[in-house]
Amino acid sequence: MKFKYIILFLFLTGCASNSGIVPMGNGTYMVSRQAATGFSGMGTLKADAMREAYAQCQKTGKHIEVIEAVDAKPPYIFGNFPKTEVRFKCISDVVSAKGVYRSPIPGDKGTYYILESKDLGDSIIQVLSSRKGNAYTDFTKLKVDCKSNQYFEQAGSSEEGAKNEPSKQLVEWTESSKWVRLVTGSSKSDLVHYICNKYK
């Protein structure tokens, strides 16, 4: 009889497991926690997993963006113990403070600004930029690849007058756009070097 109780106890219990931080590629990570028995609460497991994910992002001064959280479903018997899995990215907040990355030069009287920027992970930065002249302002939304020093224009617009921000929706260019290599001395070259140095 005592042997039966031991077998039953071993069947109903197991080993708690913690995956640690697992890189999944493209700046994505996963962390999981599993209880040792079916009697543990899911809340504690998820809180521990979130704390570990948060600590991972804090190492680089970034913030967590949860992509997906998956929990095991009850009943918690026959080895199906409480388990949570969190997939996440570490991202920077959207930076909306203006930054001049190119001042007027002979032949180009416009002033170029970074209006917003966001770290998308894997060395890709999304940027909203503007070129402000006397008669009009051009706005461009693009992605910058700091590994390859290339850029991909996503959308843009042109408005009359000197504007601080777009007053209408940008026109999408994604379908006709492609990744472009830098031309030394160009405004896009200045933008890419400026933003990539900022996010080093």
Confidence of residue 38 (pLDDT cuts 50, 70, 90): low
* Largest separation between any pair of C-alpha atoms in the chain: 94
Question: What pLDDT is stored for residue 164 in this prediction?
Answer: 85
129-183 pLDDT, tens per residue?
999 987 899 999 999 999 999 999 999 999 998 888 898 899 999 999 999 999 9
**Contact residues for 81 (Cβ-Cβ < 8 A; gap 6+):** 14, 34, 35, 36, 37, 38, 40, 72
**Structure confidence at residue 165 (pLDDT):** 87
Q: Say whether pTM exceeds 0.75.
A: no
Among 77-81, 126-130, 182-186, name the one with the lowest average pLDDT: 77-81
**11: pLDDT strictly greater than 70:** no
Q: For residue 154, what pLDDT is reported?
A: 97
Which DSSP symbol is given to 179?
-
Look at residue 10 and tell me whether its pLDDT is greater than 50. no
Q: What is the pLDDT of residue 7?
A: 42
In single-letter form, the type of residue at position 75 comes to P
Whether the predicted pLDDT of 3 surpasses 60 = no
- Confidence bin at 16 (pLDDT 50/70/90): low
With a cut of 50, say whether residue 42 has pLDDT above it.
Answer: yes
Of 121, 161, 173, the residue nearest 137 (C-alpha): 161
Is 154 within 8 Å of 141 (Cβ atoms)? Answer: yes
Structure tokens at 150: 């290339």
The pLDDT of residue 8: 44
Q: Is the pLDDT of residue 75 over 90?
A: no
- Secondary structure of 24-86 as H, E, C letters: EECCEEEEEEECCECCCCHHHHHHHHHHHHHHHHHCCCCEEEEEEEEECCCCCCCCCCCEEEE
Give yes or no for residue 12 having a pLDDT over 50: no
Q: What is the mean pLDDT of the chain?
A: 83
Residue 120 has pLDDT above 50, yes or no: yes
